[in-house]
Amino acid sequence: MSILSFPRINFNGIFSTNPCTANNDDVMTAVVNRDSDTLGASVAGMNDQQVMTYLREVVNMSIPGTSNVCKPYVRSGWNLYGNHFTTFENTKICSVVTGPNAANRITSSAQDPLVGQPLMVLGSATADPTRRMSPILCDLDSTGLVTTQLFVGGLQIGSGGPRGIDPKQIALKVDYDTHGFQNWLNFQSTVGPYGGEQNFVGIGCVMQFGMPASAIPASVPFASPGLQALLKAARAAQGLVLRFRCYEVEPGLSSSVLGDTFANGQAVDNPAFGYLVGTIGVWGVGEPASEPAGRMLQPPYPRPAMSWVSQDGKQNGGMPPAPIPWGNPPALVGNAVANVQQAPPVISLDLAESFPKLGYRNPNGPPAPKSQPPVGVPTGFDVPKQMASVGTVQLSVVPPAGPAQAIAPVNYGVPNYDDYFNFGGIVDLSYDPRLYGAIQQGTLTLNATSAPNAGVTLLQEVPIRVVTDDRTAYVAPGTKDFPIRIKVSIRGQPTTAPTTLYLYEYMNVIVAEPNTNPPNTVCTDGVRPNQTVAQEPTTILSFPKSVTIPAGRGFSNWYAIPISTTPTSGATVVACQLQNAPFAGATQFGVPNVVGVPGWSTATYSAIRVYDNDDFSALYAKDELQWDDVYNNVLRYYYLIYPAMSRFIPLNLADSIVSRGDLIKQRLHPCTDPRFFTTHNMPVTRQMSPNKVKLVLDFINQQQAKKKGGAAVPTVAAARPAAKAEPKAKPKPQPRLKSKKKKPRPKR
């Protein structure tokens, strides 16, 4: 059983996310020290008000590779006041699929009342059902390319009535704290001309998380045959899994409008919205939670050129060839997963993230808030959607011997986008049972059979698949032998020979690119920096250079690779590779050993943050902890860089921190506390080191105890001096790379 098995239910709607971007470094570099929660050189010496003013100001820059196209950007990025809340909006169950045939593909509420029911992802539960938090989206490394996470506390199908909690209006509610990860980045999720100013709108990704059977309510009275069948299967398996794709995610306000708003003295957050398509299905026993189980298809390498055309033939484009899977340019067609069933003879193919949508709903970026579209002309999410055509496509198998054999044609949403959008991006292909043996032993391929890619292999099975659910990890300094759990399979089955994995460490690199296109001064403030990922020149972690997983191991159960910290802190990425060489090797834009986007779209890796081992002994040596010390060493960073946090509890005021101390103690946890992984955790960015957490909590406890004795609580410093440069826990043994890089990255 898997999410690709029957039954499954599909949904679509709008993905909304509201992350704070002040720490992203994609407009101004060095606002923060990304390996520690401290302010960076760009704002060193500024007082609080100066930093706030700086972050709200607009600069005039170009995006790398588009020099001479100058646009306004807010220094703090597109969402200074973001709170990281993330929701499914206007999202409904759109189909119930109980089998491969048309009769089993239910899209009418008359056939199953589940169709049309709202779907929500929830934040963590509380004792008070009316105070449920929102899911939280945050990056493990906020300047990074590949480390986005979504923390959730459950899901609900059904509106729940006006307050969202009426059990009579809830079809299913599952409470479970978990988190998913950004998988399978596809930089060609949307193709066609885009005249907006953000460089990530054409990117999509997939996220998935599981909820165990024990979290499913014992009684679900909602009279939906599809839901009841799904729950029955889920209870007999590991549980439920929810997989969704978000794409064409774009902020609601342009940077220009945002900058004008700031200049007018307003302070608005600027959530981004995108398309959402997804599926809830069975989480099979032994399956990973973070990716659909099954056989993985990825772009072949060397990758041939691939093209797309609009269905009316008036537009076209494509991507050039690429020799290696870790070099640019990105692929036109993204990963897919196949689940092969013998009886009935069906291959269910997850194409959620595979094929590009044609054209942007806002081709010139977000419309001005007061702009009036022409009457009768659809705009925004009302614009009809269409898939870019890559030609007719079929699934084939290449047996161990003999020629490729066609399995079945694939409807990936051409000509009818709803065939994709209403079914979770999953297609069910009935096949000739006589092919089962070849399919089991052969290599699956997805081929184009007509123009513009006639004869081109779009995707090809990677026989050995390596998966980890530990796609992110937070580690206290001095941690020994924490596990990175791995599953390995061959063609969806246990391995039959030992598998050796090679471990390499990588790092996010911020690129400060000079404007090399004449005239160099065309944009007042130069070119926006950008990010890439390169081989880690330092050593943040200690781990075996390779591990050999015995045949058959790591399939039903996890195989643990022990990792330990070194004295160096920071955010890093460990990839588990089948090849004994770093992904990179090439120098791009002056940066050595760069791993291009395709590498991170297909690699198995774990992003890991090792916290600073802050030494605050000098602060503890005083008679009592001082507010100014707590503020300047810990809270000031969050007050300035994540101002949304102070909407709930002002972080710049001592009496605020002390008076809300009990609430803070319920929310502020080190990474060793299980509550760290709920949506209640403070800070939502999870960047605060254990010793910083301790300093804040110790200050609160000290002041509360003092209050009981009747003494006064220190108040905010009357005239806070211009801040010194933020203290850095310790220098890196080697400075982080600063160089050039072209490819855009998603800013979330």
Q: 135, 136, 226: which is closest to 172 by C-alpha?
A: 226
Binding pattern to another protein, positions 79-108, x when CB under 8 A? --x---x-x-x-------------------
Number of residues lying near another protein (CB under 8 A) = 57
- 185: enclosing H helix or E strand: strand 183-186
Quote the CA–CA distance of 182 and 246 in Å, as a whole number: 10
Say whether residue 132 binds another protein (CB under 8 A): yes
CB-nearer residue toward another protein: 128 or 312: 128
* Sequence-distant (≥ 6) Cβ neighbours of residue 211 within 8 angstroms: 154, 155, 174, 176, 178, 239, 240, 241, 242, 283
C-alpha distance from residue 437 to each of 398, 401, 404, 440 (Å): 11, 12, 13, 5
d(CA 596, CA 584): 8
Structure tokens at 98: 């109980």
Closest to another protein by CB, 89 vs 628, is 89
CA terminus-to-terminus distance, the chain: 33
Q: Are 511 and 591 in contact (CB under 8 A)?
A: yes
Contact pick of 166, 418, 481, 662 for another protein (by CB under 8 A): 662
Which one, of 410, 413, 414, lies nearest residue 423 by Cα? 413
**Residue of the chain from 7, 334, 661, 744 that contacts another protein (CB under 8 A):** 661
Nearer to another protein, 566 or 656 (CB): 656
Q: How far is the CB of 512 from another protein (least distance, A)?
A: 29
Q: Please answer whether residues 495 and 464 qualify as being in contact, where contact means their C-beta atoms are separated by less than 8 angstroms.
A: yes
Which lies closer to another protein via its Cβ, residue 281 or residue 661?
661
Phi-psi map region of 57: left, alpha, beta (phi>0 left; psi -120 to 50 alpha): beta
Nearest to 322 by CA among 41, 746, 743: 743
Instruction: Decide: is 128 part of the binding site for another protein (CB under 8 A).
Output: yes
What's the count of helices (H) and strands (E) in the chain, helices before strands? Answer: 13, 39
For the chain, the C-alpha Rg in angstroms (whole number) is: 26
Of 286, 276, 24, the residue nearest 138 (C-alpha): 24
Among 195, 70, 143, 57, smallest CA distance to 527 is for 70
- Considering only 132-140, 314-322, 446-454, 465-473, which stretch makes contact with another protein by CB under 8 A? 132-140
Task: Pick one of 99, 116, 129, 437: the residue that binds another protein (CB under 8 A).
Answer: 129
Q: How many residues does the chain have?
A: 748
Taking the least distance from each CB to another protein, the nearer of 55 and 574 is 55
Least distance CB 631 / another protein (angstroms): 13
Give the residue, chosen from 449, 646, 701, 702, that forms a contact with another protein under the rule CB under 8 A.
646
Instruction: Draw the binding track, 31-50, toward another protein (x: CB under 8 A; -: no contact).
Output: ------------------x-
User: Exposed, middle or buried, 463 (CB in 10 Å: 0-12/13-18/19+)?
Assistant: middle
Tell which positions 673-732 bind another protein, by CB under 8 A.
704, 707, 712-720
Residue 655 touches another protein, criterion: CB under 8 A: yes
Q: Candidates 118-126, 443-451, 481-489, 622-630: pick the segment binding another protein (CB under 8 A).
A: 118-126
Q: Residues 321, 648, 672, 673: which binds another protein (CB under 8 A)? A: 648
Q: Tell me whether strands 605-610 and 8-18 are parallel, antiparallel or unpaired.
A: unpaired
Which parts of 214-273 interact with another protein (CB under 8 A)?
264-269
When binding is defined by CB under 8 A, the residue of 660, 675, 706, 732 that contacts another protein is 660
Q: Is 659 in the site for another protein (CB under 8 A)?
A: yes
Shortest separation between residue 49's beta carbon and another protein, angstroms? 8
- Collect all residues with Cβ–Cβ distance below 8 Å to 456 and sequence separation of at least 6: 304, 306, 447, 448
The reply to whether 133 sits near another protein by the rule CB under 8 A is yes
Which of 52/146 has CB closer to another protein?
Answer: 52
CB 714, min distance to another protein, A = 7
Q: According to CB under 8 A, which one of 134, 178, 238, 588 is a site residue for another protein?
A: 134
For 286-320, the three-class secondary structure string (H helix, E strand, C coil) is CCCCCCCCCEEEECCCCECCEEEECCCCCCEEEEC
Indicate the residue among 388 and 723 with the shorter CB distance to another protein. 723
Q: Kindly report the number of other CB atoms within 10 A of residue 130's CB atom.
A: 8
Q: Which of these, 743, 667, 748, 732, lies nearest to 700 by C-alpha position?
A: 667
Q: How far is the CB of 88 from another protein (least distance, A)?
A: 10
Binders of another protein in range 153-182 (CB under 8 A): 159, 162-164
Per-residue contact flags (x/-) with another protein for residues 499 to 538, judged by CB under 8 A: ----------------------------------------
For residues 627 and 717, the answer to whether their CB atoms sit within 8 Å is yes
Q: What phi and psi values does residue 169 have, to the nearest 5 degrees?
A: -115, 25
Give whichever of 223 and 267 is closer to another protein, judged by the CB atom. Answer: 267
**Selected binder of another protein within 42, 256, 656, 701 (CB under 8 A):** 656
Instruction: List the x/- string, 469-498, binding to another protein by CB under 8 A.
Output: ------------------------------
Nearest partner of 136 among 73, 179, 76, 89, judged by Cα: 179
Question: From residue 265 to residue 294, what is the string marking binding to another protein with x (rule CB under 8 A)?
Answer: xxxxx-------------------------
Q: Following DSSP, what letter does each residue of 544-587 receive, concatenated? A: -SEEEEPTTTTSSS-EEEEEEE-S--EEEEEEEESSSS-S----
Q: How far is the CB of 443 from another protein (least distance, A)?
A: 45
575/545 Cα distance (integer angstroms): 11
Nearer to another protein, 667 or 738 (CB): 667
Q: Which of 658, 688, 696, 737 lies at the binding interface for another protein (CB under 8 A)?
A: 658
Which residue of 643, 683, 690, 744 would you call a contact of another protein, by CB under 8 A? 643
Identify which range of 198-206, 214-222, 295-303, 639-647 contacts another protein by CB under 8 A.
639-647
Q: Using CB under 8 A, which of the segments 94-102, 329-337, 555-563, 648-656 binds another protein? A: 648-656
Per CB under 8 A, residues contacting another protein are 49, 52, 81, 85, 87, 89, 120, 122-123, 126-134, 159, 162-164, 264-269, 639, 643-644, 646-650, 652-653, 655-656, 658-663, 704, 707, 712-720
